[in-house]
Structure 1
Amino acid sequence: MRRLVLCGALVLLGSACGSPQQAADTSTLPTAPATTTTPPSGGSVVPVPPTTGAPETPASTRCTASSLAGEVGSVDSGAGNRYAKFVVANNGSAQCTLNGYSGFQLLDGAGQPLPTNLQRTEDPAPVPITLPPGAQAAANLRWTVVATGDEPVEGPCEPEPAKAAAIPPDETQPMTVAWSHGPVCGGGKIEISAFYPA
């Protein structure tokens, strides 16, 4: 009778009634109480999307001759020197990056190379430039029209170029730009800066 009363009490408490061995073998782990969030009066629970970080920017690739158009701008003169800017524009449909110096080879009307002695200057020095479609960059050019060494004083000091082959930084294929600024003396010496935003 005592066992039945005890078993009945255990049933009321939600415990299984069985042998003492079964009760010893059964263990119950405590659980944390459930928590609920009550929205403000009249409100509703709105799910918050996970944070994805900053929006991605389009990847840039190097500017190539096929994505650029170039020209040598107007010329300033002083003390036998000539100054101009070699300007390139991104004619592609995606942004591209320039970082460094352009190659620059003077050519005659038939596309044959003429004496060219390209010298890099660090004014300004190279920095990466991202060009969105339509944006421009420039490099400074300086050359002399004064004959030097054994160049003739009468007449042109060097053959007159008709164009130039310009190779974007870290590329191998050139683009052709017109040259209408006369001979380049000093064996075709041209000082060129790195590209900078124009």
Structure 2
Amino acid sequence: MTVFPDDHRDGDLNGPEGGGTPDPLERLLRPPAEFLAVPPGAFEQIRRRATRRRLLRAAAGGSAAVAVVAGALYFAGSPASGGADERVGPPASQTRATSPRPATSGPATHSPTARPTDGSHTSRPPAGGPGTVTSPAGTGTATPSPSDTGGTATPMCTADQLTPSLGGGDAGAGNLYRYLVVTNHSATACHLAGYPGVSLLDDAGRQIGRPADRDPRSYQPVVLQPGASASDTIHTANQMGTCQPASSKLRIYPPGSRASLVFAGQVTICDDQFTITPFTAGTTGNPPS
């Protein structure tokens, strides 16, 4: 009997499914199936798509991180500025000084000045240019009108125009007062307004203790013609409490000046009392004695 290849699928006993011997012609009549070849460039396209997806995911992650950081900065807020009351510091040492306050009515007399209770000290000399008066702490820096400066057209005295020295003094009731005098040795007039920065130095030029605090008093600009002098008063305790070593020199910063003047002078700070008054005319301190 003739057997055709299709008869194997119909369950012929001679076919493979019926347990018979496979027809040798089946390999010729039914060749093995061939798979289609991969289209050219398919793998490169898949790689490009995968790379594009990775880049998109990375970009999305970076955008999310930026958004989180921006949100944190927004809620945290930017650091507050230091305000307009910053003062220029001395180049060599830190000079602390309190700010002037309006004086009360009545004549001014020598008396021990109470130290600040908040422990704060301004560690820099008064800032400002010619005719600038520093306002009380915490209220900013005020620039006076021409009437506040006495209507003077003279410039602020510079350190190069001044010769400093220690004048006389006074003592009583446990207090000691020394007069700090500056003289205009230049050929042109100038004026001083306010407080100098004052600190004490030893023989090696090292600062002794802290700089002088400011004794709150009202003041007016002092015009110094060539050869004229102005003065203020250094106040400390008279050999009471704990005393620091006596100074060999003093360093002062004239009002509004970034340059300092160093000169010989002996002052002893006792009982942690060390204040300075604003400049006034003459050589006998403020108030004049």
Pick the TM interval, shorter chain. 0.5 to 0.7
Q: Distance in 2 between matches of 1:158 and 1:191?
A: 15
Q: Distance in 1 between matches of 2:262 and 2:202?
A: 12
The one-letter code matched in structure 1 to 2:270 is C
The one-letter code matched in structure 1 to 2:261 is M
How much does 1:191 deviate? 1.7
- Note the residue ranges of structure 1 that are not aligned, 5 or more in a row: 1-57, 152-156
Q: Distance in 2 between matches of 1:82 and 1:64?
A: 29
Aligned to 2:221: 128
Deviations 1:99-136 (A, max 9, x none): 1001101000111111034121234x221111111111
Tell whether 2:233 aligns with 1:140: yes
The one-letter code matched in structure 2 to 1:177 is F
Instruction: For residue 163 of structure 2, give the secondary structure of its aligned residue in structure 1.
Output: strand
Q: Distance in 1 between matches of 2:260 and 2:250?
A: 9
Aligned to 1:184: 269
The one-letter code matched in structure 2 to 1:73 is G
Instruction: For residue 185 of structure 1, give the secondary structure of its aligned residue in structure 2.
Output: coil
How much does 1:171 deviate? 0.7
Instruction: For residue 66 of structure 1, give the secondary structure of its aligned residue in structure 2.
Output: helix
Q: Distance in 2 between matches of 1:117 and 1:106?
A: 7
Contact 1:72 1:86 in 2 (8 A): yes
Tell whether 2:195 aligns with 1:109: no
Structure 1 residues 117 and 105, CA, compared in 2 at 3 Å: closer, same or farther? Answer: closer
Q: How many residues align?
A: 131
The one-letter code matched in structure 2 to 1:118 is A
Aligned to 2:77: none
Contact 1:82 1:143 in 2 (8 A): yes
TM-score under structure 1 normalisation?
0.61
Contact 2:199 2:250 in 1 (8 A): yes
How much does 1:146 deviate? 3.5
Tell whether 2:254 aligns with 1:168: yes
TM-score under structure 2 normalisation?
0.43
Deviations 1:125-151 (A, max 9, x none): 221111111111111221113443xx3
Higher strand share: 1
Aligned to 1:81: 175
Contact 1:101 1:126 in 2 (8 A): no
Tell whether 2:289 aligns with 1:195: no
How much does 1:59 deviate? 4.8
Q: In the alignment, which of 87, 96, 100 is matched to residue 190 of structure 2? A: 96
Contact 1:72 1:87 in 2 (8 A): yes
Note the 1:27-66 alignment, pairs <5 A. 59-66=153-160
Q: Distance in 2 between matches of 1:161 and 1:72?
A: 12
Residues 97-106 or 66-75, more deviating: 66-75
Q: Cα RMSD between the aligned structures?
A: 1.8
Q: Distance in 1 between matches of 2:187 and 2:153?
A: 13
Contact 1:62 1:96 in 2 (8 A): yes
Deviations 1:51-73 (A, max 9, x none): xxxxxxx9522111111011111
Deviations 1:8-56 (A, max 9, x none): xxxxxxxxxxxxxxxxxxxxxxxxxxxxxxxxxxxxxxxxxxxxxxxxx
Residues 102-111 or 75-84, more deviating: 75-84
Question: Which protein has the larger Cα radius of gyration, Structure 1 or Structure 2?
Answer: 2
Q: Distance in 1 between matches of 2:210 and 2:219?
A: 22
- Runs of 4+ with >2 A deviation: 145-148
The one-letter code matched in structure 2 to 1:184 is I
